[in-house]
Structure 1
Amino acid sequence: MSTTRRSLLAALLAGGLSPEVLALGLPADAFAAAAPELAPLRGLDGDGLDATDVAIEGRLPAGLSGRYFRNGPGLMQRAGQRYRHWFDGDGLLQSWTLQHGRASHRARFVQTEKFRAEQEAGRFLLPAFGTAIPAERPVRGPDSVNAANTSVLLQGDALYALWEGGSAYELDPASLATRGVKVWSPELRGMPFSAHPKVEPDGTVWNFGTANGRLVVYEIAADGHVRRHAMLDVAAPAMLHDFAVSQRHLVFLLAPVTMDWAAVRAGQSMLEAMRWGANDPTRVLVVDKADFTKRRVFEMPACHVFHFGNAWDDGRLLRLDYVQGVPLPEFNAGAEQIMRGERTTRDVSTPRVLEINLQTGRLNVAARSEAVEFPVVDPRVVAQRHRFVWYPTAVDTGARWGFNGLMRLDIDGGARERFSFGDDVVVEEHVLVPKPGSTKEGEGWLVGMGYDVRRRRSFLSVFDAQRLADGPLARAWLPYAVPYGFHGRFYPG
């Protein structure tokens, strides 16, 4: 153990912290020394970022105009303590403005109740989803520990920072100033609103949340009013991150994840107390969009799924695509490794297509072997028949962590197209932005962020979504590095 490390431990012991919390400490100058691609996961200190008139490599397409919002964990450590899990960091909302061939960038932390209190105190005060920190403030419900760190949704003049465990937080889309917790209706106050709402081409929003084994589903009009909601008793798992929407159905893969409440009471975090039932089935819940009381449940072998691409059905056949990951215990072990600045040794997540014959109940799963995550589709085909899915992918990365390329998959014919940046770039989620006036699926640009390990700077890249192999049309280079985020959306304008 180094002298720096021993000194840090001695200081923490003098402060009376428990050994479990001591394990979070890590000298800032040593973080990710052996894995420089993990450097952005050190996080920021709570301040925002601004870059105007960002340097452009190549040329931004003339028709690409609007705002690209992203969300992700941005603050990982306070007062020598460090979160154990990537999911715990406080939400950092980013906004890229693209207009007239120029780009600017802004990032602000979501001013949640938790973030404001801990900023003022200069230390962690509340437990996090994956880190067992003794509460020094009252925990009255999920929003007391809301990190608002996963995704975004824009409706009118309201931008929402989303976190699956609690309420959406509303922000001003221009300044990114936080307005406060969003209450969709009085009876839904405090109900979880997941980070993966599905927005149909007409603006209709579908979403869900889970609470004590129940599933709340939302149908929200384009203007933001709640058309319908319902609470379903379906024995929802302890973790449910995403779902799929087709023309007629809402589809959930209910993985065999249960909560060991005795372990929580004994001091484990919520994530540490989740138990994986490897021999139990994943239940496929299909809910009728027109009548939430009409539900069917199918079964398939245990599988862990974070993200779906899209779904469609013709009344007889229901098809959805998703990315299947490793079982939850292995995933969590990997997430803890990267928060220590170590490369993971876990297996990769890979594409799947599930077909359900709604008449016979027969299920069929087609699997592929590419290392991918964060699937996206053309927003014009959400809940409609689709052909293409785009993903970040890993191409010959060896032991290095993260994705370094992009892939388009034709899920009808199986053909793929890929581009790799090589060993010195980590690629994040990219979203598809339709070209103005186009109508064909996939006619558009793929827009997203990445990190250059050698330059130690983050960038925005723009690809022709139908010609990935040609490489980026443009990259907008930030003068700084931004912590890796999770999800974003592009809004033309």
Structure 2
Amino acid sequence: MQRRDFIKNGMLGLAGVGNLSLLQEALAVGATAARFSTAAPELAPFQGFTGSEAFDASDLRVEGRLPAGLRGVYYRNGPGLMARGGERYRHWFDGDGLVQAWSFGEAGVQHKARFVKTQKFRAETQAGRFLLPAFGTSFADQESRLPVRSADDVNTANTSVMKMDDGRLYALWEGGSAYELDPQTLTTKGVRAWSKELAGMPFSAHPKVEADGTVWNFGTQSGRMVVYQISPQGQVLRSEVFAAPGPSAMVHDFAVSQRYLVFLLSPIGMDMNALRGGESMLDAMRWLGNESTLVLVIDKADFKRRWVLETPAAMVFHFGNAWDDGKQIHLDYVEAPALPAVNERLRMIMAGQRPPAQNHPPSEPRFMRIRLGSDGAGAGGLGRGHIELQARDESVEFPVVDPRVVAQRYRHVYYPTAIDLGDRWGFNGLMHLDIESGRRERFSFGSDVVVEEHVLVPKPGSSKEGEGWLLGLGYDCKARRSFASVFDAQALSAGPLARVWLPYWVTYGFHGKFYAA
């Protein structure tokens, strides 16, 4: 399939804040425009910002003691703008991307955040209102706004980040192109085309980077998939476009082992009549709970060698890792509630309403073992094989592993977790799971803190998996301030070694990466 056909088919589915008084003034304007209020203190950051903010803070206050070897930049991405011109997005996934840079160096810790100035962001800033539909929000008068001609017209660049060995930094969104940013200033440089043939094709927000720097990624659009192998310097080594073997309306993440790429295609269909009738893409998605989740396995050495197996219906956003011994593939992921429940929860929090816990089952750890048959090569149809599943019942999300074991045999997975939270939204702790022994270790900040994804930063000079620090963000509901926390990954229950406090708060993000100096 040619690039132009892939994109054509896809379109059928489609100010400095160091001064806190200026920040509060900006937020007041945003709150009026958004008409956002909430009685749940943990939901306050969903108010969002106006899009004119430029966050800069240096010599941040450190509570505790930072490890001397923690040197580098922690980049993080997430939705930061939720409202314009009196209109507010209905879904968390819709907000325009705000990329943060937490710099750890000899002079202390500095913080910077900038909005990704996509073509959508620039056009809507100039107009002072939303012009384009979003993933979970549509507008009844869309015909009076801008038409959607390509996926990048609605690209929010709001999900994750990736820095290549050539020094280039990218803001990622699963439905469209990567946006290049200046790694020092976070200034937006523009859309990245990995090659002339791949320009404009979807590049997901969850690329997998092996220890040698090799990048694997994918994209999906209207029943088609594309997979990439990219060198550490950003050159496309191989790519393949093919028909997805089943529903692929939402494929957010995947896993990579030594020999295979593994996708779980949740049973989510797209109601094209609803989409053409003006519903958002998310509203037009249909959960097909009576159908199977398809397990798509692709040979890394030959993208045309594919196997498809079936497992019971499951909603999956995020994977931890995978490894194989040539005969069996072992992987872990988090199973979320079915799509309708997820969307109801995310729409409630965007409206400032706390979702009742008793009506919303948690996301939980899952472990899968796959034995492949020999008949799937090149067929892409249902092949012989066998799948075994194991489950745990902790409330978790955003699993991460030591970056040195990506696509290799591994033992340790780390998650944000909810511990005795009751009805409060979000996570308030961290969990370390030893998947060989089943032993877990946890730490809770209590009921007044929201904990986000934490990544593992290897200690300089170490080689053993798990020898490192857990670094991530949190929000203190009482202080109304955001912070970065640093844990010894091998002594999680002892609590944070340090917390680094911002003099302001920032919106909740999705994913981040640390790059050593």
Shorter-chain TM-score above 0.5: yes
Residues 332, 373 of structure 1: CA spacing in aligned structure 2 closer, same or farther, 3 A cutoff? same
1:40 aligns with 2:40: no
Shift of 1:157: 2.5
| Contact 1:244 1:251 (C-alpha < 8 Å) held by counterparts | yes
- Secondary structure of 2:442 counterpart: strand
Cα RMSD (Å): 1.3
| Contact 2:431 2:443 (C-alpha < 8 Å) held by counterparts | yes
1:175 aligns with 2:185: yes
Q: Which residue of 1 aligns with 2:286?
A: 275
1:310, 1:213 → 2: CA distance? 25
Q: Out of 418, 425, 437, which is 2:461 matched to?
A: 437
2:114, 2:39 → 1: CA distance? 29
1:478 aligns with 2:502: yes
- Secondary structure of 1:351 counterpart: strand
One-letter identity of the residue aligned with 1:185: S
1:199 aligns with 2:204: no
Q: Which residue of 1 aligns with 2:238?
A: 228
1:358 aligns with 2:372: yes
2:209, 2:355 → 1: CA distance? 34
Q: Out of 351, 358, 361, which is 1:347 matched to?
A: 361
Q: Deviations over 1:423-470 (max 9, x none)?
A: 110000000000000010000000000000000000000000110101
- Secondary structure of 2:302 counterpart: coil
Residues 101, 396 of structure 1: CA spacing in aligned structure 2 closer, same or farther, 3 A cutoff? farther
Shift of 1:31: 3.4
Q: Which residue of 2 aligns with 1:12?
A: none
1:344, 1:180 → 2: CA distance? 38
Q: Deviations over 1:240-263 (max 9, x none)?
A: 000000000000001111110100
One-letter identity of the residue aligned with 1:276: W
Unaligned runs of 5+ in 2: 1-29, 374-383
1:150, 1:30 → 2: CA distance? 25
- Secondary structure of 2:203 counterpart: coil
1:454 aligns with 2:464: no
Q: Which residue of 1 aligns with 2:161?
A: 152
Q: Where in structure 2 are the equivalents of 1:209-224 lying within 5 Å?
A: 209-224=219-234
One-letter identity of the residue aligned with 1:302: A
| Contact 2:33 2:85 (C-alpha < 8 Å) held by counterparts | no
1:373, 1:406 → 2: CA distance? 10
Shift of 1:102: 1.2
1:163 aligns with 2:173: yes
Q: Which residue of 2 aligns with 1:50?
A: 56
Q: Deviations over 1:123-152 (max 9, x none)?
A: 111100000022511321000010000000
Identity of aligned residues (%): 64
Shift of 1:344: 1.3
2:293, 2:320 → 1: CA distance? 18
1:29, 1:280 → 2: CA distance? 39
Shift of 1:122: 1.1
Residues 101, 298 of structure 1: CA spacing in aligned structure 2 closer, same or farther, 3 A cutoff? farther
1:401, 1:251 → 2: CA distance? 31
Shift of 1:265: 1.2
1:130 aligns with 2:139: no
Normalised to the residue count of structure 2, the TM-score between the two structures is 0.89
2:405, 2:261 → 1: CA distance? 15
Residues 76, 116 of structure 1: CA spacing in aligned structure 2 closer, same or farther, 3 A cutoff? same
- Secondary structure of 1:335 counterpart: helix
Shift of 1:29: 9.1
One-letter identity of the residue aligned with 2:168: A
Q: Which residue of 1 aligns with 2:259?
A: 248
Shift of 1:93: 0.5
Unaligned runs of 5+ in 1: 1-24
- Secondary structure of 1:187 counterpart: coil
1:166, 1:308 → 2: CA distance? 21
Q: Which residue of 1 aligns with 2:333?
A: 322
| Contact 2:31 2:47 (C-alpha < 8 Å) held by counterparts | no
One-letter identity of the residue aligned with 2:315: H
Q: Out of 431, 448, 454, which is 1:407 matched to?
A: 431
1:119 aligns with 2:125: yes
Q: Out of 299, 307, 312, which is 1:296 matched to?
A: 307
1:143 aligns with 2:152: yes
Q: Where in structure 2 are the equivalents of 1:7-18 lying within 5 Å?
A: none
1:28, 1:385 → 2: CA distance? 50
Q: Which residue of 2 aligns with 1:424?
A: 448
Q: Which residue of 2 aligns with 1:20?
A: none
| Contact 1:61 1:101 (C-alpha < 8 Å) held by counterparts | no
Residues 98, 30 of structure 1: CA spacing in aligned structure 2 closer, same or farther, 3 A cutoff? same
- Secondary structure of 1:152 counterpart: strand
- Secondary structure of 1:63 counterpart: coil
- 25-34 vs 140-149, greater mean Cα deviation: 25-34
1:147, 1:140 → 2: CA distance? 15
Q: Deviations over 1:227-280 (max 9, x none)?
A: 000012124510100000000000000111111010011111000000010000
1:88, 1:374 → 2: CA distance? 19
Shift of 1:100: 2.1
Aligned residues: 469
1:436, 1:426 → 2: CA distance? 29
- Secondary structure of 2:100 counterpart: strand
- Secondary structure of 2:99 counterpart: strand
2:444, 2:397 → 1: CA distance? 15
One-letter identity of the residue aligned with 1:44: F
Shift of 1:57: 0.6
1:332 aligns with 2:343: yes
- Secondary structure of 1:264 counterpart: helix
1:400, 1:73 → 2: CA distance? 21
| Contact 2:34 2:84 (C-alpha < 8 Å) held by counterparts | no
Q: Which residue of 2 aligns with 1:21?
A: none
| Contact 1:304 1:324 (C-alpha < 8 Å) held by counterparts | yes
Q: Deviations over 1:348-376 (max 9, x none)?
A: 10000001122572211110000000000
